[in-house]
Structure formats: C-alpha cells, structure tokens
A = this chain, B = another copy of it.
Amino acid sequence: MTGRIILASGSAIRREILDGAGLDYEVMVRPVDEDAIKDAMLSERARLRDIADALAEAKAMRVSRQEAGFVIGADQIMVMDDTLFDKPKTMDEVRTRLLSMRGKKHELIGAVVICENGVPVWRHMSRTKLWVRDFSETFLEWYIETEGEALMKSVGAYRFEGPGAQLFKKVEGGFFAILGLDLLPVLDYLRVRGVIPS
C-alpha cells in the first residue's frame, strides 16, 4: 500500500528529517496568517500548546482542502517564563533573544497535525526542555558570526543540529522533536494508515 504524502512546511530541517527517513513526499506551502491566529488566541488566553496545535492544523488544512493525500502540518513555539517567543526578525533581536536565554531553561512545544481531504485525522504534541549555559561574549560573537542570518529562521535563534549545540548544557526530549518534527509518531501513523510499509 502506498499513499501520497505532502509536507505543508517550507522548513529545510523538516525536509531533511523526512528525506533522512527515506520517505517519498511532496512539499506544498500555502500562506497562512500565523500572526492573526496567534494574536487571536493569545487575546483569548488560549493555552500556548493550543496555539502550536492550531498553527500546525491551519498549515495542513490550507493545503488539504485542495489536495488529496496525507498532508503534514507542523509548528514549533518557544516558551520561556510562561511567555511565547516568535522567530527573531532582525539580527539585533537575535542577539537580545540569545542573551535573554543565557543561563536559563526554555521549552520547545511542537505540534504536528495530519489532514486528509480537508479534515484533521491525527495530531501530536511534543514538549522538550533545554537549558542554555552561561556563555561568554566571546562565544556569542563567534556564534552569531558563524551562523549569521540562519538564526532568524528558528524560534530559539539556534540550529540544534549545527553550532547551536554549543549553547546548551542539557536538553531533555527527543532530537527530532527539538528539530521541529517529532518523526517516530508520524511514521507510526503513516504505517497504521498503510501509507508506508509496516
């Protein structure tokens, strides 16, 4: 049995994860007003994890209404001191963000929603804890220079699979979840549905 898999995300690391696992899939990204969803939910005092879930669903639904197959939507938010953080938008914000994370714990909440024929058929949440070490200015300069604008592509201003690993003293949680797509549960659902060989 096989079936069409569509990744509704433009994230390079999510593609790398699915490529690594050996999946055949397509990438289709349709615009979603993420800020509007986020702001509306924050003003309704929604739980932060529900925001990640809603964003993952919105991305998958947007594609699934028009395309047959199993559409994977994913989102990841960063939470520190009970506050939600977006991707930094400038290199100044990158620096401020990293300094605010120094010596502290933060969490990454990941949501994956799979839609089929315009209906969400599966959803999954992951939560990982990461402790940033008390890094020096010397390290920070090296890190920002090494990674550059790539740092604006991640909620935490780091690629854990890259030099970002040097930021941490400890992490708790699965690697795939930290990267932004908790792979094993996704594979499990695709097998249950006969989309990939079990």
Instruction: Count residues on chain A whose CB falls below 8 Å from chain B CBs.
Output: 28
List chain B residues, Cβ under 8 A from A22: 146, 162-163, 166
Assess the A168–B197 pair: CB atoms within 8 A: no
Given contact pairs A22-B146, A146-B22, A197 touches B165 in the complex (Cβ within 8 A): no
- Does A138 lie at the interface of the complex (its beta carbon under 8 Å from any beta carbon of B)? yes
List chain B residues, Cβ under 8 A from A161: 20
Assess the B138–A197 pair: CB atoms within 8 A: yes
Assess the A139–B184 pair: CB atoms within 8 A: no
Assess the B170–A136 pair: CB atoms within 8 A: no
List chain B residues, Cβ under 8 A from A175: 174-176
Assess the B183–A165 pair: CB atoms within 8 A: yes
Assess the A188–B165 pair: CB atoms within 8 A: no
What is the bound-complex CA distance between A153 and B174, given in angstroms?
24
User: A148 to chain B: closest CB distance in Å?
Assistant: 12
Given contact pairs A171-B174, A175-B174, A175-B175, A166 touches B20 in the complex (Cβ within 8 A): no
Assess the A135–B198 pair: CB atoms within 8 A: yes
User: A46 to chain B: closest CB distance in Å?
Assistant: 30
Interface residues of A in 132-148 (CB under 8 A from B): 135-136, 138-139, 142, 146
Assess the B21–A165 pair: CB atoms within 8 A: yes
List chain B residues, Cβ under 8 A from A170: 184
Assess the A21–B163 pair: CB atoms within 8 A: yes
List chain B residues, Cβ under 8 A from A193: none
User: A7 to chain B: closest CB distance in Å?
Assistant: 16
User: A138 to chain B: closest CB distance in Å?
Assistant: 5
Interface residues of A in 54-70 (CB under 8 A from B): none
A-B contact pairs, 11 of them (CB 8 A): A21-B166, A22-B162, A135-B198, A138-B197, A139-B197, A142-B197, A165-B176, A165-B183, A168-B184, A169-B184, A171-B184
